[in-house]
Amino acid sequence: MKAPSNSDCADLNRRFGAPERIVFRPSKHGVPIVVLANKYGTAEVALFGAQTISYRPTGNQPVLYMPHPYDETPAGEEIHGGIPVCWPWFARNGAPGSKLHGLARYAAWSVRGTEYSEDLTEIRLGLLSSAETRKAWPYDFDLELTVSVSMKLTLCLTAKNTGDAPFAVTEGFHPYFLVRERKGATVRGVDGCAFLDCSEPEKGAERVWTGDYAPVADGSKVFAVAKHEHVLLDSGLKRAIALVSRGNSQLVVWNPGPDSAGRVAEFGENGWNRFVCVEPATIPPGKPLELAPGEEHKLVMAIQSVPEGAQN
C-alpha cells in the first residue's frame, strides 16, 4: 500500500475522517498528522513513525513531552518526544550500524481504518515489510498500531510474522511523560522487582528494588515486572499518570540528565529536566520475543492522567 503524503489529506478525510472527531492535516515532514478528539480529550498521531505526538485530557495539562512543535523537528529523523514505537529492536539491539530503536519509527504508516462513538475515537495504522525494510531487517512482517482516545489513551501494537522463517524481536513503547521537574517525580509499582542499572551493568540484573523509584539519577533502570500497573507521580504538576500494560516483560525508566544538552540537541539546555520516560518493553537482559511463521504478538499500553491522590 502506498505510503501517505500531505497531498492525500483530502482523500484521507473523505474516507476515514469525521468532522471534529478525526481530522487529517498536513505536516512540514510531508506526511500527514491525524487529530483524534472527543469529550475526554485530544491526541495527535504522526503517520510518519506512527508516533503519538500529543495527548491532552479535557480540562488537564498535556501528558506528553515534546521539546519543540512537531513541525520544527528534523524530517525523517528520530524524534525525542511523544510516544515513539520501538520495533523490531529496542535501543541499539539491532544489527551493527542500525538506527536507534528499530525501523518502525522511520517509516510512513498507512491508514487501515477509523472508528468513533460517543465514548471512543480510534485509528488503525499499518506497516508492511518491503524491499526498503528488508535492507535493515531481512524478515516479512505486518505491524498494526491502534491508537484510541477514551477516558484514557490506549495504544495496541500487533506484530505478525508473515514470512516462512521464525524471527526474534525486542520492542517497546517509549512515552516521554511531561513533569514539572525530574526531582519531583516518583514511579510506583516497582517494589520487589529485579532490576538492571544500565549505568552499572557489571552488577547484573538480579538485585531487587525496594519501595518506589525516584528517577533522580541519569540513565536507565530496567525492571523485570511482575504486575503491569504503574504510576508516575509528579508533585510539581500535582498529578498521577497511571500506566497499565500487557505483552511486555520489563519496564524501563529513563532520564538522560543534563549531559543530553550536548548529545540530543532538541532537548536544549534544560529540557532533560521536564520529562521522565516510563516504557513498557521486552529487551535484554530478558528474552526476546520469538514469533513463528503466522504467529502474532500484542503489546498494549493504556495511560490515564488524574489529580494526585485520586488514583486507587
Question: Which pLDDT score is estimated for 69?
Answer: 86
Read off the pLDDT of residues 228-250 as tens digits, 9 standing for 90 and up.
999 999 999 999 999 999 999 99
Task: With respect to residue 85, please indicate whether it lies within any of the assigned structural domains.
Answer: yes
Question: Which pLDDT score is estimated for 310?
Answer: 59
One-letter amino acid for residue 217 of the chain: A
Grid coordinates in use for 198?
Answer: 544500565
Q: Is the pLDDT score of 9 beyond 90?
A: yes
Read off the pLDDT of residues 42-77 as tens digits, 9 standing for 90 and up.
999 999 999 999 999 999 999 999 998 888 877 777
Question: Which pLDDT score is estimated for 240?
Answer: 97
Grid coordinates in use for 206?
Answer: 538480579
Question: Which pLDDT score is estimated for 251?
Answer: 98
Task: With respect to residue 1, please indicate whether it lies within any of the assigned structural domains.
Answer: no
Q: Given pLDDT bands bounded at 50, 70 and 90, which one contains residue 169?
A: very high
Question: Which pLDDT score is estimated for 97?
Answer: 79
**Calpha distance 58→214 (Å, rounded):** 28
CATH number at 53 reads 2.70.98.10
State mean pLDDT over 18-23. Answer: 97
Task: With respect to residue 40, please indicate whether it lies within any of the assigned structural domains.
Answer: yes
Q: Given pLDDT bands bounded at 50, 70 and 90, which one contains residue 197?
A: very high
Boundaries of domain holding 261:
6-307
State mean pLDDT over 266-272. Answer: 83
Angle at alpha carbon of residue 279, lines to 273 and 281, rounded to 5°:
150
Identify the weakest region by mean pLDDT among 72-81, 102-111, 159-168, 236-245. Answer: 72-81
Read off the pLDDT of residues 117-133 as tens digits, 9 standing for 90 and up.
999 999 999 999 999 99
* 174 exposure class (CB count in 10 Å sphere: 0-12, 13-18, 19+): buried
User: CA-CA-CA-CA torsion for 67, 68, 73, 79, nearest 10 degrees?
Assistant: 30
Task: With respect to residue 229, please indicate whether it lies within any of the assigned structural domains.
Answer: yes
Q: Is the pLDDT score of 266 beyond 90?
A: no
Q: Given pLDDT bands bounded at 50, 70 and 90, which one contains residue 145?
A: very high
Q: Given pLDDT bands bounded at 50, 70 and 90, which one contains residue 180?
A: very high
Task: With respect to residue 150, please indicate whether it lies within any of the assigned structural domains.
Answer: yes
Question: Which pLDDT score is estimated for 110?
Answer: 97
Q: Is the pLDDT score of 311 beyond 60?
A: no
Query: Sheet containing 296-307: which strands, arranged edge to edge?
Result: 110-116, 121-128, 141-149, 153-161, 296-307, 239-246, 229-234, 185-188
Q: Is the pLDDT score of 10 beyond 60?
A: yes
The enclosing H or E element of 52 equals strand 51-57
φ, ψ (nearest 5 deg) of residue 14: -70, -40
Q: Is the pLDDT score of 12 beyond 80?
A: yes
* 97 exposure class (CB count in 10 Å sphere: 0-12, 13-18, 19+): exposed
Q: Given pLDDT bands bounded at 50, 70 and 90, which one contains residue 261?
A: low
DSSP annotation of 10 reads H
Question: Which pLDDT score is estimated for 205?
Answer: 84
**Calpha distance 181→185 (Å, rounded):** 7
Q: Given pLDDT bands bounded at 50, 70 and 90, which one contains residue 262?
A: low
Q: Given pLDDT bands bounded at 50, 70 and 90, which one contains residue 96?
A: confident
Task: With respect to residue 13, please indicate whether it lies within any of the assigned structural domains.
Answer: yes
State mean pLDDT over 94-110. Answer: 89
Mean pLDDT in the chain?
93
Q: Tell me, rounded to whole angstroms, the distance of Cα 156 from its chain centroid.
A: 10
Task: With respect to residue 312, please indicate whether it lies within any of the assigned structural domains.
Answer: no
Closest CA to 192 of 216, 220, 224, 215: 224
Question: Which pLDDT score is estimated for 201?
Answer: 86
Residue 13, classed as helix, strand or coil, is helix
Task: With respect to residue 289, please indicate whether it lies within any of the assigned structural domains.
Answer: yes
**Calpha distance 188→210 (Å, rounded):** 11
Total domain count, the chain? 1
Instruction: Find out whether 228 and 245 touch, Cβ atoms under 8 Å.
Output: yes
